[in-house]
Amino acid sequence: MAKLKLITFGCQANEADSEKIAGVLAQEGFELTEMAEEADLILINTCSIREKAEQKVYSLLGTFQRLKVQNPRMKIGLCGCLAQREGTRLKDRFPYLDLLAGPGAMIYRIPEMLRGSPAPPVLPRPKELLPLYIHSPRPRRESLFKAWVSIMEGCNYLCTFCVVPYTRGPERSRPPEDILAEVEDLLKQGYREITLLGQTVNAYGKNLKPRTRFSDLLRAIDALVGREMRVRFTSSHPRDLTPDLIEAVATLKSICEHVHLPVQAGSDRVLARMRRLYTRQQYLERVGALRRAVPDIALSTDLIVGFPGESEEDFQETLSLLRQVRYDSIFAFKYSARPLTPAATYPDQVSGEAKTERIHTALQLQDDIALEKNRGRVGTIEEVLIEEGPNPKMQSTATGRTRRNQLIHFSQESLVPGDTVSAVIAEGYSHYLKGKIP
Ligand code: SF4
């Protein structure tokens, strides 16, 4: 069998795409290898959201070029958002590249490209971009009990910092019957948890005829999986956290008590310049409605610090929002100027030093909040899906996630990945819990 070395950067959508790439290429006779030296094909699934990830890709390409000199039959390709954004310019810069393919449905064209018809990585028409899972090979999933299920591609919001609409294109939703068929297949295979994926997952269905709301899809999935599967979804846009969706999260048993709701900033001035299309107050109202419906819901968010023009006062408003919402976890990033995006041209870029200081301050505050919250959970009983076996670094014998998406470590011997258990929270830390089986 031919060997494929697959390297993935970036978001969960890219991880899901990589599983699809592995599935498509398995049908072409490729098996995965960890060793680049023995690979017949090296594919890097790239991300364009932050500059750092791009620099890593370029440095990896240099390493792989040296391997290709030793083994000229080796093929090297780039997939994903960087390939989509830069297109054939990459070929000029790295002439030894054999293959370029954008994200999403471009994956299914990789075999024909390998056979010698290089499709240009331009955005195909939206119709062509609908995921083709039912008629395509199954993704080669990394886990035997947790699965990504892509339900939409692209994004119609045009946040001024974000490159996604230019690389993944406009929003397209996958037909519900197609999604339900994939979920049913996963259920039959014994999967215990699915995560519905989309750039703005809760905007699902706007382009479908007849229109299907995201909450309708959740209801249909819940009716199919009952209590046999946990259902998560990410990422949500605050504008699409509608009353019907909140009701679905509150009433459907399969839907986990966790919502990832990116806020990005706490200052109205910055939110407007980001073109997030909500104010701080509107965001807080949605959070309030969600918490009234599901009082113990876990909330996580994304933050950007050092967006162009962010003053110290603006940043203080972000800190005050963290104190007000008291998230369970956050993902904070320093603003990174991205080609094609309006914010990259804003003249008032924030210095690297200020960004570094602000990110440390935000993360420290969040650590304090999470520590207090997690200590407050000691003694509660939570359902946990065991995901991994022993972790010597954590001195644990097993690790899982609660329905609230919190990482939890155990020190008992008998827990097996894939098991669902009821655990007592024994200790709480900023980034994880420790649990016991009563
Ligand atoms: S909602 Fe904004 S940040 Fe999210 S993918 Fe769309 S443009 Fe990017």
Q: What is the pLDDT of residue 117?
A: 66
The answer, yes or no, to whether any atom of ligand 1 lies below 6 A from the CB of 266, is: no
Question: What is residue 147's three-state secondary structure?
Answer: strand
What CATH number is given for 381-436 in this structure? 2.40.50
| In the chain, % of residues over pLDDT 70 | 96
CB atoms under 10 Å from CB of 39, counted, come to: 23
- Residue that wins the pLDDT comparison between 378 and 114: 378
CATH code for the structural domain at 2-124:
3.40.50.12160
State in Å: Cα 241 to ligand 1 middle. Answer: 15
Ligand 1 atom with least separation from CA of 158: 7
Residue 381 is predicted with a pLDDT of 97
Higher pLDDT, 110 or 254: 254
Side by side, which strands form the sheet with 329-334?
258-260, 298-305, 329-334
**What average pLDDT does the segment 110-121 reach?**
75
pLDDT over threshold 90, residue 102: no
Residue 235 alpha carbon, nearest atom of ligand 1: 4
What's the pLDDT band for 78 if we cut at 50, 70, 90? very high
Tell me, using a 6 A CB cutoff, whether residue 152 lines ligand 1: no
Give the three-class secondary structure for 52: helix
**CA–CA separation, 243 and 138 (whole Å):** 35
State the pLDDT confidence band at 120, using cuts at 50, 70 and 90: low
Q: Which of 155, 172, 307, 338 to mutate to test the pocket of ligand 1 (most atoms within 8 A of CB)?
A: 155
Topology of domain 128-375 in CATH is pyruvate-formate lyase- activating enzyme (3.80.30)
Determine the average pLDDT of the residues in 275-284.
98
Written as six digits, the tokens of 178 are 């197609």
Distance 237 CA to ligand 1 centre (A): 8
127 pLDDT higher than 70: no
CB 43 within 8 A of CB 78: yes
Residue 202 in contact with ligand 1 by CB distance below 6 A? no
For residue 392, what pLDDT is reported? 86
> Is residue 199 within 6 Å of ligand 1 at its C-beta?
yes
One DSSP character per residue, 219-281 reads HHHHHHHTTSSEEEEEPPPGGG--HHHHHHHHH-TTB-SEEE---B-S-HHHHHHHT-S--HH
> What spacing in Å lies between the alpha carbon of 162 and ligand 1's midpoint?
6
Find the 168 Cα to ligand 1 centroid distance in Å: 11
Instruction: Using alpha carbons, list the distances in angstroms from residue 44 to 10, 94, 98, 157, 211.
Output: 11, 14, 12, 27, 36
Residues 6 or more apart from 111 whose CB is under 8 A from it? 24, 25, 27, 28
List, in order, residues 6 or more apart from 341 with CB less than 8 Å away. Answer: 160, 161, 162, 163, 166
pLDDT for position 13: 87
CA dist 224 and 209 (Å) reads: 22
pLDDT of residue 262: 98
Residue 124 near residue 101 (C-beta atoms within 8 A): no
Assigned token pair, 380: 């509660």
- Token pair, residue 309, equals 């023009």
Atom of ligand 1 nearest to the CA of 168: 5
- The Å distance, Cα 324 to ligand 1 centre, comes to 24
pLDDT over 60 at 126, yes or no: no
Q: Is 237 in the pocket of ligand 1 (CB under 6 A)?
A: yes
Residue 224 in tokens: 């199919």
| pLDDT for 130 beyond 70 | no
Selected residue with higher pLDDT from 83 and 305: 305
pLDDT tens digit string along 174-195?
A: 999 999 999 999 999 999 999 9
φ and ψ of 180, to 5 deg: -65, -35
**pLDDT, position 159:** 97
Which whole number is the average pLDDT over 362-391? 96
pLDDT, tens digit (0-9, with 9 covering 90-100), for 231-276:
999 999 999 999 999 999 999 999 999 999 999 999 999 999 999 9
Which pLDDT value is given to residue 30? 95
φ, ψ (nearest 5 deg) of residue 327: -65, 160
Please say whether the dihedral angle defined by the alpha carbons of residues 256, 262, 267 and 273, taken in this order, is positive or negative.
negative
What number is the average pLDDT over the span 289-318?
A: 98
Quick one: which atom of ligand 1 is closest to the CA of 264? 3
Amino acid 414: pLDDT: 80
Q: How far apart are the first and last CA of the chain?
A: 48
Contacts for 210 with CB less than 8 Å, ≥ 6 apart:
none
**pLDDT, mean of residues 427-437:** 97
Domain boundaries, the chain: 2-124, 128-375, 381-436
Interval 393-408 mean pLDDT: 94
| Topology agreement, domain 128-375 and domain 381-436 | no
138 pLDDT more than 60: yes
Per-residue pLDDT, averaged over 297-314, amounts to 98
Residue 6, C-beta contacts closer than 8 angstroms, at least 6 positions apart: 18, 21, 22, 32, 43, 45
CA 407 to each of CA 195, 200, 228, 328: distance values in angstroms, whole numbers, following the listed order: 16, 24, 21, 11
> CB of 120 within 8 A of CB of 89?
no
93-118 average pLDDT score: 84
Please work out whether the CB of residue 159 comes within 6 Å of at least one atom of ligand 1: yes
For range 338-358, the mean pLDDT: 96
- Mean pLDDT taken over the chain: 93
Predicted local distance difference test score (pLDDT) of residue 133:
63
What mean pLDDT is predicted for residues 283-312?
98
The whole-number pLDDT of residue 87 equals 83
Q: What is the mean pLDDT of residues 118-134?
A: 57
Mutate to test the pocket of ligand 1, among 11, 50, 85, 157 (most ligand atoms within 8 A of CB): 157
Residue 85: pLDDT band (50, 70, 90) is confident
* 154 pocket-lining for ligand 1 (C-beta < 6 Å): no
Cα(260) to ligand 1 centroid in Å equals: 14
